[in-house]
Amino acid sequence: MSDAAASSDTRRPGSWRRRERQQYERRIAELEAERDTYKRERDAALEELRELRTRLAQDDHKTLREVAHQGRLYRGTMVDDLPHGSGVLYAMDGETKIYEGEWQDGTRHGQGKEFTDDKMTYKGAWADGEKVGDGEATGMQWERCCSYYGKTIDGKPHGEGELLQGESVIYRGRWKDGKRNGKGDEFVDGRLIYTGTWFCGKRTGRGAEFSQGGELIYEGSWHNGERTYRREGKVGGMELKGDQGELLGYYSGAIYYGRPHGEGELRDGGDNRVVYKGGWRNGMRHGHGKAYYHWNGPVLWFRGEWRHDRIHSGALFPDGNWSGEREQDGMPVFPADITMWQGGEAMTDINVPGSGWTVAELLRDRGVSVYLPVGALG
């Protein structure tokens, strides 16, 4: 036998013993793990057994009874003459259900349902007679004879929900701690009157208000339930007054800090007729716009550019009509010449056909000469 073969034979017994020892160690670890698992299962079973024995002892003290409780009729389990366990609270007629669920020492405690007129209005957890944690309202009374449907926390609207008065929704949106908070819509008689953000139950942030007819009243910034007119916004039918406080008409359109700014329309304060439609800047007519007066009908007397509440350049009587009257075919009864006009030009030399007046005299008679620049009237 060679020296190499002899050396190999001498190593084999030691290698075999190491593998055998490793197998023993793995088996020992497996048995120890099984032992630990058994201990945990045994301990859990013993704890469950103790809990069952405790409950059984408590149940031995419970009795199923029907008694008067808090001016109402209680049917359910009792301990020491107090509602404890599961039971139902009825009105004294014994039929109208008020509460159904768990009790502890005479008060609502645990999971339960509340009823109004025998209809479930709340479902959730209770502690010491008070609603706690997450709940679900299905008609819970809230905000002066209204009913709430939606999520709750501690018995208060919290999250998404609706408030109804009778069958009509009066608010739909977000709530926090029982108050309207976040994005929400308000309704009157089924008509949307406000959409926007709320904070602590009041309109705060950006929002739009509408009349019951659906017309926009105000769109913009709110704080503590009041319009602020801060920065950009829109209005519908806002009173527009002159420097002396006189009513100029009702404005609808874009605003900036409460003043007409951008595109808008002004109607008179009497018959609600359009007197101006176009651009505004800082409360004055500015930019491209159209101006009207009314005689026997609407008359477009100017169309063009305005600067600081005065006409600047454009067309006089661009519709070719100065009286407002029209034939059945739509043609003017008293046609006017369309005249292109520039600031600085006098209107005293421009005649109005069929009137016997100059343009300056006609515009003065119609009460719109205040919108003419210096020099236009001669």
Same domain, 118 and 14: no
**Nearest alpha-carbon partner for 118 in 85, 80, 89, 76:** 89
Same domain, 52 and 122: no
Same domain, 124 and 42: no
13, 172, 296 from 130: Cα distances, Å:
78, 26, 72
Q: Is 67 within the bounds of a domain? A: no
Q: Is 378 within the bounds of a domain? A: no
What is residue 360's three-state secondary structure?
Answer: helix
Q: Measured on CA atoms in the order 176, 210, 248, 301, is the torsion positive or negative?
A: positive
Residue 191: HSE in the Cβ half-sphere, 13 Å Cα cutoff: 11
Same domain, 271 and 356: yes
Same domain, 106 and 158: yes
Range of the domain at 346: 78-371
Region at 220 (left for phi over 0; alpha for psi -120 to 50; beta for the rest): left
Identity at 70, one-letter amino acid code: Q
Q: Is 69 within the bounds of a domain? A: no
Q: What is the DSSP letter of 326?
A: B
Q: Is 276 within the bounds of a domain? A: yes
Same domain, 94 and 236: yes
Same domain, 233 and 363: yes
Residue 211 neighbours by CB under 8 Å, 6+ apart? 193, 217, 236
Q: Is 73 within the bounds of a domain? A: no
DSSP letter for each residue of 8-76: HHHHHHHHHHHHHHHHHHHHHHHHHHHHHHHHHHHHHHHHHHHHHHHHHHHHHH-EEEEEEETTEEEEE
DSSP letter for each residue of 219-276: EEEEETTEE---SEEEEEEEEEE-TTS-EEEEEEEEEETTEEEEEEEEE-TTT--EEE
Q: What pLDDT was estimated at residue 194?
A: 98
CA distance 299 to 282: 26
| Gyration radius (Cα) of the chain, Å | 42
Backbone φ and ψ for 333, nearest 5 degrees, come out as -70, -40
**How many independent structural domains does the chain possess?**
2
**Nearest alpha-carbon partner for 306 in 339, 282, 279:** 279
Q: What pLDDT was estimated at residue 61?
A: 58
Q: What pLDDT was estimated at residue 57?
A: 56
Same domain, 215 and 338: yes
Placement of tokens 């366990």 in the chain = 85
Q: Is 40 within the bounds of a domain? A: yes
Last residue of a domain, one of 61, 86, 106: 61
Q: Is 72 within the bounds of a domain? A: no
Same domain, 242 and 348: yes
Q: What pLDDT was estimated at residue 15?
A: 76
Same domain, 166 and 279: yes
CA distance 291 to 251: 14
CA distance 142 to 157: 9
Question: What proportions of the chain, in percent to the nearest 5, are helix, strand and coil?
Answer: 20, 55, 25
CA distance 22 to 134: 56
Q: What pLDDT was estimated at residue 243?
A: 86
CA distance 137 to 162: 10
CA distance 174 to 53: 47
Q: What pLDDT was estimated at residue 59?
A: 57
* Contact predicate 178/158, CB 8 Å: yes
In the chain (378 residues long), the average pLDDT of successive 10-residue segments reads 46 72 85 88 85 63 82 93 94 94 96 94 96 96 93 97 96 97 97 98 98 95 96 95 90 96 94 95 97 94 96 95 90 90 87 88 92 85
18, 27, 302 from 171: Cα distances, Å:
80, 69, 46
DSSP letter for each residue of 279-303: EEETTEEEEEEEEEEESSSEEEEEE
Same domain, 133 and 269: yes
Pairing of strands 97-104, 284-294: unpaired
Same domain, 152 and 298: yes
Q: Is 71 within the bounds of a domain? A: no
* Contact predicate 204/222, CB 8 Å: yes
